[in-house]
Amino acid sequence: MSSQANTTSKIIPLESMRGLAAFMVFLFHFILGFMPQRHGQESASAIPGGNLMETPFFFLINGHAAVTFFFVLSGFVLSYSYFRKGSCVGLIGSIIKRWPRLFPIALISTLCSWLLIHYGLYSYSETAAITNSQWMARFAHARGDFLNSTLGDAFMQGFFFTFFRGDENLNTSLWTMHYEFIGSLLVFALVPILNGMRAALAVIIFLIFMLAAFYISVYMCAFIMGCFLSYYRCQITHYKSVLPLNRFMLSVSLLFIILAFGYTEPGRGFYSFMQMSDASMMRPTRILIHSIAAVVLIEIILNYETVYALFNSAVGRFLGRCSFALYVIHVPLIFSFSNYIFLTFLDQFGYRFTVLLTFCLSLFLLFLVSWMMTLLDERWCRYINRNVKKLI
């Protein structure tokens, strides 16, 4: 493991992967909205044998896998510094800061979405009629009467209800925020339990928490796995890999990651062998498979010098810094700006070129807006850190 990962508060290659995962979610939704036939998630419109979901190449755009990776990575990085130093000093401050740390970006997104609705700047119905995307037609499957939301509704959703109740109908990408908030509190609860614990007893604790999480909220399994990976690396193996460090194992691990991240239920085409008779088990199985692949990916990044160096760059740092804002704001941007570009130039340039043009212009605006939001968010975080430090 590179020494940088031991001495800095953020591990840049992992931040790079966070940014790539956020970009993957954007790709997932963009293709689902403008090219659902090639995407494959909507079986009614998917081209049989000609969509990504039926192939392992789906790992390039699988937003489901990216979200699970977010959760595993959160479990890892939120606990890493405490396990590394073998102390829980500062843990109370982290708990106090968690909600204030998360809500500003979410609040900005819901207020922006409300303004776009209020001034009639969402044109998703017209686009959906052309692309046949049910995701687009149903406003990303938003629940409730979002069109008649008030400014107060938008404020309370982004500020409070998204995190404590799971509301997300003004910006459906915020569905993860409830899990992120609860999962981070679970990680902070595990840290003092595991710190200094013997490995054998820790395994028992791990199995108990995993079993409970599987039946209560399976996404919590991802946070638990990330937290236990952090504990195991810092306090059991002392930063040594749990994987054999050789080219064969690297190849096998990368192949597993591609195949695992390429899967989503119900399992069609290449993944037909993963269809299950019990439909209720498909989603939990997918989340566990993606969680295991995320753990393997983190191990590869941290232990193979060539992989670590590949993601340890200025570009990776930039992607990591923008990742949160990019993830949160991309759905409102797709439903407003992307649709506007698509509808404006469709007759002039034809379908395929217009989709490409829409993607390029949307990507530019997405990174521009994300960077501006990130700068604002970073100032807010510094303010929160100073005041929480004074408080405790």
How confident is the model over 49-61, as pLDDT tens digits?
899 999 999 999 9
Quote the mean pLDDT of the chain. 93
- Note the pLDDT tens digit of each residue in 72-91: 999 999 999 999 999 899 99
pLDDT higher than threshold 70 for residue 6? no
| Alpha carbon distances (Å) from 224 to 73, 177, 358 | 10, 17, 39
Q: How far does Cα 341 stand from its chain's mean position?
A: 26
Query: For 1-5, 81-85, 264-268, which range has the lowest pLDDT when averaged over its residues?
Result: 1-5
| Domain containing residue 37 | 4-391
- The CA distance from 40 to 31, in Å, is 10
- Side-chain-side CA neighbours of 48 within 13 Å: the count stands at 2
229, amino acid identity: L
pLDDT in tens, 159-202: 999 999 999 999 999 999 999 999 999 999 999 999 999 999 99
228: tokens are: 């236990």
What's the domain count of the chain?
1
What's the pLDDT score for residue 66? 98
> Does the pLDDT at position 227 exceed 90?
yes
Candidate from 11-20, 153-162, 235-244, 365-374 with smallest mean pLDDT: 235-244
- pTM given for the model: 0.94
Spatial separation of the C-alpha atoms in residues 290 and 148, rounded to whole Å: 37
Is residue 213 within 8 A of residue 224, CB to CB? The reply is yes
pLDDT tens column, 22-33: 999 999 999 999
